[in-house]
């Protein structure tokens, strides 16, 4: 269970990214967060693993209060939360396997990770994560030699290697073409179903959101404007979230047909 | 824009040529003043004059005569070969050891790599100080500390390499892709784990290239360390110079130049591939 | 720990994990570094037995230098350092003036294929000779003192400045050159109005950067008698007048850092241009990237 109580984030300079958000996300749910860019989606996701600290209010993950953790406790919380990024955030100059092993960093002593000695147990977990996203054949290929979709799968594998209980995905398909986007979303959904990992995904595309979400959360300038199952989110709801009528850019399939 | 044309007539006056920026004026005045102060012939100037240069050049002189009679047979002389081998050995040891120490220092010398402001400030200060030491000054100090020979030369190049490689490498760190750093933090990595997995792979090609560049610098530098007794080809140069044996001086310089150029061409070819 | 993964184990049976490929490149590089280091260390004729003394000796020297600084030596140190700065400044100007035409001759997008290799060769030879060695050769011609040092710094700068300026010129945008050509400009006019406006900020910054490097070189020219604070450094260290040597050292370090700071600021400002964009990114990294 992830709970937000009056969660507020104000950036230096007075920009309010989140204002007094209250939310409860039960374990195992697949939640999609929609909203315009700048609506606070990225901030919301990053408050869960403490990459963005709250200005006031509380965020709890399970029985841990993210806002009250020490540095060390925060690191151990992050180890239990996988994260996937829009730009994949891979070290492109090193191998796929080394990138995935980054997800094991919290489980190995610092000195061993410094010399690159992860050991067979950690390597096995990384390999299984790669198998789960069906890209294990590329384990020893440099990440820069992969396509965008393959790189995002490596990003997912890196998060899976953490053996997380929560998965955060910040615009995971925004840099991908439509068919690849759908495949990546299916991967995320399958992982959510098979492993029961609570999943929070930021999305811009409405049709993808409706297709994959158990629950949709709509944000507009840092405030909650919609919270309900994917089936309830029709065009009216989206127009309310976006504060304008929908355009072709808001729908993945329309973009594909262009 | 269209409304402006209907309400007010467009401003048709030609603009005045804007004055140069205060920065440009200041810089030009500063540069001219510094040039006059340093170049003029007064108590604190070096009194540079082209006529003096020309009259000195047209007088017959020993080095020019020596250049005409350059003695290239010195290149096969065992004294040259020994001195040259020592120069290379000093450069190799100094560069490798210095570069190894420079990697962690370079990490600490950047905003991303320093664990806190105090470490950052201390490392930055240390690095600025050792960077302002020319290699020959290190050699002077180490000759005083451990006596003459190759050892002070190696130590001088060691410190010189630390300064060069740390500076160049740390400058690249603040420009790397921050994505992997965020990914490492999000997966709960510690500070040094983050540096090792997200930063080091990104800077490694640059670092290797800088270390090789530093080897070129050290090879060149190790030729002068012998002037203060710190080993290498400089001792031979100093010997011939004190004898007034200019054909031999030029021979040594020519051999040295050829080898430096060859090493540089190889190193540049490798470095171009790295980056 | 990995039990969640076992639930769908069967699906992966068909996928084969790749073998870890053997990294020959890494082996060769590591081998070369280790062999080079070991080989050089074992064969070099260095008095390694004195290495353990080095830190202690250095510490003793530092203590002797800075615990009884000889303030009477300060005027002499400042005067010597000023002369070093003067040598570096005038030398940089000489190098800059002489290197610019050579750089134009060495740039492939400006000069004919016939002249480029020859000019590049001259620049490479000049680059390979350290300033101090130039000073040794120039002293018999111009006499002991700052003139020989200045010329040594000037000639020594031509090589690097020429090569790096040529690279900057080659990197300039060909569009404006073509436009000038289309407007009927002569070759000289094209260089003056299409090439130089594009490259001058970077070349100016390069000259300043060279000035910073030349200060370090001119601080030790005095070791061979070519003027500046080097003479004082050498004499005080050789005769173990540590109080005076400490003053000289402090002056060298202090002035070098001061000049670096001022010159670095001006360089960044030149590269950034007068528009004064907010300092969202630190351009120092690019500025130092010409090596």
Burial of A28: CB neighbours in 10 Å, binned 0-12, 13-18, 19+: middle
- B window 150-209, beta carbon within 8 A of A: 177, 179-180, 182-190, 192-194, 196-198, 201-202, 204-205
What is the 8-class DSSP label of residue A142?
A: B
Q: Is A249 on the interface with C (CB under 8 A)?
A: no
**B188, B190, B205 ranked by CB distance to A110: nearest:** B190
Helix (H) or strand (E) holding A203: strand A198-203
When pLDDT is averaged across residues A251-256 and rounded to a whole number, the result is 62
- Among positive and negative, which fits the CA dihedral C270, C272, C273, C279? negative
Chain A interface, best mutation among C5, C14, C20, C278, by max A CB count within 10 A: C5
Give pLDDT tens digits for C211-241: 999 999 999 999 999 989 999 999 999 899 9
Residue A240 pLDDT exceeds 90: no
Phi, psi of B5 (to 5 degrees): -70, -30
Give the chains touching C; criterion: ≥3 Cβ pairs < 8 Å. Answer: A, B
Which residues, 6 or more positions from C105, have their beta carbon under 8 angstroms from its beta carbon? C111, C115, C116, C119
Q: Which two tokens stand for residue C156?
A: 């020594």
For the residues B30-35, what does the mean pLDDT come to?
Answer: 92
pLDDT confidence of residue C13? 53
- Asked if A139 and C16 come within 8 Å (Cβ–Cβ), the reply is no
Q: What is the pLDDT of residue C173?
A: 86
Instruction: Calculate what percentage of chain A has a pLDDT beyond 90.
Output: 56
Neighbours of A73 (CB within 10 A): 14
As a whole number of angstroms, the distance between CA A242 and CA A221 comes to 10
Tens of pLDDT along C26-59?
Answer: 888 889 999 999 999 999 888 898 899 899 999 9
- Report CB contact under 8 Å: C17, A125: no
**Rounded-to-integer distance, Cα C58 and Cα B134, Å:** 17
Facing A102 at nearest CB: one of B177, B197, B204: B197
Integer Cα distance of A110 and C52 in angstroms? 31
Interface subset of A 41-60, CB within 8 angstroms of B: 49, 51
| C-alpha to C-alpha distance for A109 and B189, rounded to whole angstroms | 10
pLDDT of residue C94: 96
Query: Could you tell me which chain A residue has the CA closest to the CA of C6?
Result: A128
- pLDDT at residue B38 is higher than 50: yes
Cβ-Cβ contacts under 8 Å between A and B: the total is: 86
Please give the pLDDT value at position C14. Answer: 58
- Asked if the Cβ–Cβ distance from C90 to B46 is below 8 Å, we say yes
- Tell me whether residues A137 and C8 touch, CB distance under 8 A: no
Asked if A113 lies within 8 A of B182 by C-beta distance, the reply is no
User: Do residue A140 and residue C8 have CB atoms under 8 angstroms apart?
Assistant: no
For residue B21, give the chain C residue with the closest CA: C274
pLDDT of C110 reads 84
Chain A residues within an 8 Å CB radius of C4: 163, 194-196
What's the rounded Cα separation, in Å, for the pair A60 and B13? Answer: 65
> Which of A129, A131, A196 lies at the smallest CB-CB distance from C15?
A131
pLDDT mean over A211-236: 88
Distance in Å, alpha carbon of C177 to nearest chain A alpha carbon: 36
Q: B195: nearest CA in chain A? A: A114
The ipTM value here is 0.86
Asked if C11 contacts A128 with a C-beta cutoff of 8 angstroms, the reply is no
A166-195 pLDDT tens trace: 999 999 998 898 889 999 999 999 999 999
Higher pLDDT: B15 or B69? It is: B69
DSSP code of residue C193: I
Confidence bin at C105 (pLDDT 50/70/90): very high
Query: Helical H runs in chain A?
Result: 41-48, 71-79, 96-101, 110-114, 119-132, 148-161, 178-195, 206-212, 235-242, 252-257
DSSP string, A205-222: -HHHHHHH-SEEEEEETT
Nearest CA in chain B to A112: B193
Return all residues near B118 (Cβ < 8 A) that are at least 6 apart.
Answer: none
Examine the pLDDT at B30 and tell me if it is beyond 60: yes
Is A168 strand, coil or helix?
A: strand
Mutate to test the interface with B, among A43, A72, A85, A93 (most CBs of B within 10 A): A93
Residue-level pLDDT at C109 = 85
d(CA C267, CA C202): 9
Over residues A26-34, the mean pLDDT reads 94
pLDDT digits (tens, 9 = 90+) for B97-148: 999 999 999 999 998 999 889 999 999 999 999 998 988 999 999 999 999 9
Chain C residue with minimum CA distance to A133: C12
H/E element, A21: strand A16-25
Give me the pLDDT at residue C283, please: 37
Average pLDDT of the segment spanning C207-212? 94
- Percent of chain C scoring above 90 in pLDDT: 59
Taken in order A45, A50, A51, A52, the sign of the CA dihedral is positive
Q: Tell me the pLDDT tens digit for each residue of A89-98.
A: 998 888 899 9
> Hey, which residues does A216 pair with through a beta bridge?
A32, A228
Query: Which is more confident, B20 or C119?
Result: C119
Q: What is the pLDDT of residues A36-50, one digit of tens each?
A: 888 889 999 999 999
- Residue C2 pLDDT > 90: no
Q: C39-58 burial string, b = 16+ CB within 10 Å, else e?
A: ebbeebebeeeeeeeeeebb
Nearest CA in chain C to B26: C266
The answer to whether the Cβ–Cβ distance between C133 and B24 falls below 8 Å is no
pLDDT (0 to 100) of residue C232: 94
The model carries a pTM of: 0.84
Q: How many CB atoms are located within 10 Å of the residue B182 CB? A: 19
How close B188 gets to chain A, by Cα (Å)? Answer: 4
Q: Please, are residues C233 and C147 in contact by the beta-carbon 8 Å criterion?
A: no
pLDDT value, residue A166: 95
Q: What is the pLDDT at residue C271?
A: 82
pLDDT at site C12 = 52
Average pLDDT over chain A, rounded to an integer: 89
Which of C3, C7, C17 would best serve as a mutation to test chain A binding (most A beta carbons within 10 A)? C17
Task: Taking residues B180-187, report their average pLDDT.
Answer: 93
Does the structure show a pLDDT above 80 at C11? no
CA distances from A83 to A188, B196, C5 (A): 12, 19, 18
Element (H, E) at A83: strand A81-84
Nearest CA in chain C to B50: C147
Which of B116, B180, B199 to probe the A interface (max A CBs under 10 A)? B180
Task: Return phi, psi of residue C187, to 5°.
Answer: -60, -45
Of A132, A136, A140, the CB nearest to C21: A140
Contact (Cβ atoms closer than 8 angstroms) between residue C91 and residue C99: no
A 171-200: CB under 8 A from C: 194-196
Please, which residues have CB within 8 angstroms of residue A74's CB and are 6 or more apart in sequence?
A: A50, A66
Alpha helices (H) in C68-195, listed in sequence order: 74-106, 115-128, 131-142, 146-170, 174-182, 187-190
Statement: residue C5 has pLDDT above 70: no
Confidence band (pLDDT; 50, 70, 90) for C291?
very low
Q: Which chain B residues have a beta carbon less than 8 Å from that of A118? A: none
Q: Which segments within C213-264 are labelled E, that is strand?
A: none
Please judge whether A131 and C1 are an interchain contact, meaning their C-beta atoms are less than 8 angstroms apart: no
Nearest CB among B189, B196, B202 relative to A93 is that of B202
**Which residues of C are less than 8 Å from A127 in CB distance?**
17
**Distance (Å, whole) CA B24 – CA C266:** 10
Cβ-based neighbours of B40, under 8 Å, separated by 6 or more: B47
Calculate how close chain A gets to C64, using CA atoms only, in Å. Answer: 40
Residues of chain C contacting residue B63, judged by C-beta atoms under 8 Å apart: 137-138, 140-141
The whole-number pLDDT of residue B8 equals: 66
**Chain B nearest C-alpha distance from C22 (Å):** 19
Query: Considering only alpha carbons, which residue of chain B is nearest residue C120?
Result: B261
Please report where in the chains the tokens 């209907």 appear, as a residue: B6
Q: How far is C38 from chain A (nearest CA, A)?
A: 22
**Among the listed ranges A175-179, B90-94, C84-88, which one has the minimum average pLDDT value?**
A175-179
Average pLDDT over residues A98-124: 88
Core vs surface per residue A33-54: b (16+ CB within 10 A) or e: bbbbeebbbbbbbbbbbbbbeb
Neighbours of chain B (3+ CB pairs under 8 A): A, C
Task: Name chain A's partners: 3 or more CB pairs within 8 A.
Answer: B, C
Decide if A82 and B184 are in contact by the 8 Å CB cutoff.
no
- CB atoms B134 and C54 under 8 Å: no
Contact B227 C58 (CB under 8 A): no
Look at phi and psi of residue B146 and say left if phi exceeds 0, alpha if psi is from -120 to 50, else beta.
alpha
Cβ–Cβ below 8 Å for A163 and C1: yes
Residue C148 has pLDDT above 70, yes or no: yes
């Amino acid at each position: 269970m992830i709970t937000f109580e009056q969660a507020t984030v104000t950036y230096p300079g007075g920009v309010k990214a989140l204002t007094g958000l209250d939310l409860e996300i039960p374990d195992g749910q697949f939640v999609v967060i929609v909203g315009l860019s700048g609506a606070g989606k990225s901030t919301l996701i990053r408050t869960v693993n403490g990459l963005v600290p709250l200005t006031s209010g509380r965020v709890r993950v399970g029985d841990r209060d993210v806002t009250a953790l020490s540095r060390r406790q925060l690191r151990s919380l992050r180890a239990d939360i996988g994260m996937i990024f829009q730009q994949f955030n891979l070290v492109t100059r090193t191998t796929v396997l080394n990138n995935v092993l980054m997800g094991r960093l919290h489980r190995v002593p610092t000195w061993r990770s410094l010399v690159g000695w992860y050991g067979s147990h950690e390597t096995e977990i990384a390999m299984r994560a790669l198998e789960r996203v069906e890209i294990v054949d590329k384990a020893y290929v440099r990440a820069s030699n992969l396509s965008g979709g393959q790189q995002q799968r490596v990003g997912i594998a890196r998060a899976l290697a953490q053996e997380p209980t929560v998965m955060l995905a910040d615009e995971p398909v925004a840099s991908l073409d439509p068919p690849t986007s759908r495949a990546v979303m299916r991967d995320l959904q399958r992982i959510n179903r098979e492993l029961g990992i609570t999943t929070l995904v930021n999305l811009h595309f409405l049709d993808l959101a409706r297709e994959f979400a158990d629950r949709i959360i709509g944000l507009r300038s840092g405030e909650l404007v919609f919270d309900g199952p994917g089936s309830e989110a029709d065009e009216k709801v989206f127009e309310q979230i976006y504060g304008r009528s929908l355009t072709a850019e808001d729908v993945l399939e329309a973009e594909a047909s262009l | 824009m269209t409304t402006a044309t209907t309400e007010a007539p467009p401003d048709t006056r030609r603009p005045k040529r804007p004055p140069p920026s205060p920065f440009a004026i200041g810089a030009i005045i500063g540069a001219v003043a510094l040039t006059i102060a340093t170049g003029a012939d007064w108590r604190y100037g070096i009194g540079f004059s082209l006529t003096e240069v020309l009259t000195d050049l047209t007088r017959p002189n020993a080095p020019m005569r020596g250049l005409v009679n350059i003695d290239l047979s010195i290149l096969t002389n065992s004294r040259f070969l020994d001195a040259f081998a020592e120069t290379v050995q000093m450069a190799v040891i100094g560069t490798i050891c210095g570069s190894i120490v420079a990697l962690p220092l370079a990490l600490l010398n950047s905003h991303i790599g320093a664990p806190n402001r105090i470490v950052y400030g201390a490392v930055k200060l240390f690095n600025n100080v050792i960077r302002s030491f020319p290699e020959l000054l290190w050699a002077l100090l180490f000759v005083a500390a451990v006596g003459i020979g190759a050892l002070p030369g190696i130590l001088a190049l060691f410190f010189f390499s630390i300064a060069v490689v740390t500076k160049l490498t740390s400058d690249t760190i603040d420009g790397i892709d921050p994505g992997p750093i965020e990914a490492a933090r999000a997966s709960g990595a510690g500070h040094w784990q983050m540096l090792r997995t997200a930063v080091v792979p990104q800077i490694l090609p640059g670092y290797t290239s800088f270390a090789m560049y530093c080897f070129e610098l050290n090879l060149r530098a190790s030729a002068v360390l012998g002037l203060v007794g710190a080993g290498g080809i400089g001792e031979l140069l100093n010997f011939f110079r004190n004898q007034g044996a200019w054909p031999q001086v030029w021979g040594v310089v020519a051999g040295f130049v050829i080898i430096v150029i060859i090493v540089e061409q190889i190193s540049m070819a490798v470095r171009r591939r790295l980056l | 720990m990995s039990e969640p993964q076992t639930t769908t184990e069967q699906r992966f049976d068909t996928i084969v994990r790749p073998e870890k490929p053997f990294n020959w490149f890494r082996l060769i590089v590591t081998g070369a570094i280790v062999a080079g280091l070991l080989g050089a260390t074992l064969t070099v004729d260095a008095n390694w037995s004195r290495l353990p003394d080095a830190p202690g000796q250095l510490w003793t020297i530092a203590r002797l230098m800075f615990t009884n600084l000889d303030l009477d030596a300060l005027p002499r140190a400042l005067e010597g350092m000023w002369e070093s700065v003067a040598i570096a400044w005038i030398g940089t100007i000489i190098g800059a003036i002489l290197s610019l035409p050579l750089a134009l001759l060495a740039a492939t997008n400006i000069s004919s294929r016939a002249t480029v290799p020859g000019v590049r060769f001259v620049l490479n030879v000049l680059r390979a000779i350290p300033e101090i060695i130039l000073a040794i050769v120039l002293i018999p011609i111009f006499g002991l003192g700052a003139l020989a040092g200045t010329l040594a710094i000037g000639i020594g700068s031509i090589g690097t400045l020429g090569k790096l300026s040529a690279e900057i010129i080659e990197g300039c945008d060909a569009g404006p050159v073509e436009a000038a050509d289309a407007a009927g400009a002569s070759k000289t006019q094209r260089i003056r109005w299409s090439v130089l406006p594009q490259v001058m900020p970077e070349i100016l910054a390069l000259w300043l950067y060279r000035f910073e490097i030349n200060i370090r070189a001119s601080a030790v020219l005095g070791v061979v008698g070519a003027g500046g604070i080097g003479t004082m450094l050498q004499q005080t260290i050789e005769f173990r007048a540590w109080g005076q040597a400490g003053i000289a050292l402090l002056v060298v370090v202090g002035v070098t850092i001061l000049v670096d700071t001022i010159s670095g600021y001006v360089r960044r400002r030149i590269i950034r241009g007068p528009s004064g964009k907010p300092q969202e990114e630190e351009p120092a990294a690019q500025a130092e990237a010409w090596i």
